[in-house]
A and B are shown apart, each in its own frame.
Chain A
Amino acid sequence: MPLVDYANPTRFLALQRRLAPVLALVTAVLFVIGLVLVFRSPADYQQGETVRIMYIHVPSAWLSMLTYAIMTASALGTLVWRHPLADVAARAAAPIGAAFTFMALITGSLWGRPMWGTYWEWDARLTSVLILFLMYLGLMALWRTLEDPARGARLAAILILVGSINLPIIKFSVDWWNTLHQPASVFRLGGPTIDASMLVPLFVMAAAFTTLLFSLHLAAMRNEILRRRLRTLGLLAAGGAR
């Protein structure tokens, strides 16, 4: 079946039902392998055991941005192609993105205190990630505020696209400004600066977090479709009662 056929919500729900157990199993297996590798990996020569916070902080931070990138693609789908599932995808992703961003901020803070001597610093990287978190919260508030879903979808899509300017700012903030945060050490032109003994567990944990994101996102999209069906039936019931 062509991919475009899954734009139909009923077909999407059938696909989600089939994929959910597979994704959940893959996620669980990846987390078990990842955590075993994390706690068998060596301590860092400078940071000691504290480096273990990296294995949850870095994937959370990556996914906080990946989720917003998914929402940006969905916003284009809403505005340009009027894809029936685009707004569903964006709306379902926002709370998950907010949770991953919250996790990145908290674990970063807990990593920063022993390494930098402070929980928080108003530098470019930390502040731009905080702005990302506030954008997620703002979008969720916007969707809840507007009664008309079509109008809400368009307004949210515009706001998401405007907010996407924050993604390159987050990524390059450590290069453009002086910050406490270390520069990129995995995805950089010269290759990773992290030893393979730490890089492999980091990638396995990142894969576990990514499959977790897809599992949760598909389930949240299913809920959003059901919520819209419920709204339609609620309107029909209200119309019939009149």
Chain B
Amino acid sequence: MSPFLGPYTGFIVLSYGLAALVIAALIVWIGVDHARLKRRLADLEARGLRRRSATPPEA
């Protein structure tokens, strides 16, 4: 086993690896979700749909 982390290197590396993977998955999921939502909102707004609160008051 690695002289650096002792006889349980595998457990330590696996812990850090899995933690990094979970954090990366959260970041990617939130980013992809945001891009998808923005695209779908832009599509609907391009069709002329507006929420009442987003419509500027008439002059």
Provided the pairs A49-B5, A222-B34, A230-B40 are in contact, do residues A237 and B47 lie with their beta carbons within 8 angstroms? yes
Residues 37 to 92 of chain A near chain B (Cβ within 8 Å): 43, 48-50, 52-53, 56-57, 60
- Check A197 for interface membership: any CB of B closer than 8 A: no
Question: A102 and B22: CB pair below 8 A?
Answer: yes
Q: B59 at interface (Cβ–Cβ under 8 A)? A: no
Residue count of chain B within 8 Å CB distance of chain A = 34
Q: Is the interface of A mostly helix, strand, loop or mixed?
A: helix
Q: Per DSSP, are chain B's interface residues mostly helix, strand or loop, or mixed? A: helix
Q: Which of A109-117, A134-142, A175-183 contacts B (4 or more CB under 8 A)?
A: A109-117
| Chain B, 7-59, CB within 8 A of any chain A CB | 7-9, 11-12, 14-16, 18-19, 22-23, 25-27, 29-31, 33-34, 37-38, 40-41, 44-45, 47, 49-51, 53
B26 and A60 within 8 A (CB): no
Question: Which B residue's beta carbon lies closest to that of A59?
Answer: B19
State whether A110 and B6 are in contact (beta carbons under 8 Å apart), knowing that A219-B34, A230-B44, A233-B51 are contacts in the complex: no
B-contacting residues of A (Cβ < 8 Å)?
10, 43, 48-50, 52-53, 56-57, 60, 95-96, 99, 102-103, 106-107, 110-111, 113-114, 212, 216, 219-220, 222-223, 226-227, 229-230, 232-234, 236-237, 240
Q: Which residues of B contact A (CB under 8 A)?
A: 4-9, 11-12, 14-16, 18-19, 22-23, 25-27, 29-31, 33-34, 37-38, 40-41, 44-45, 47, 49-51, 53
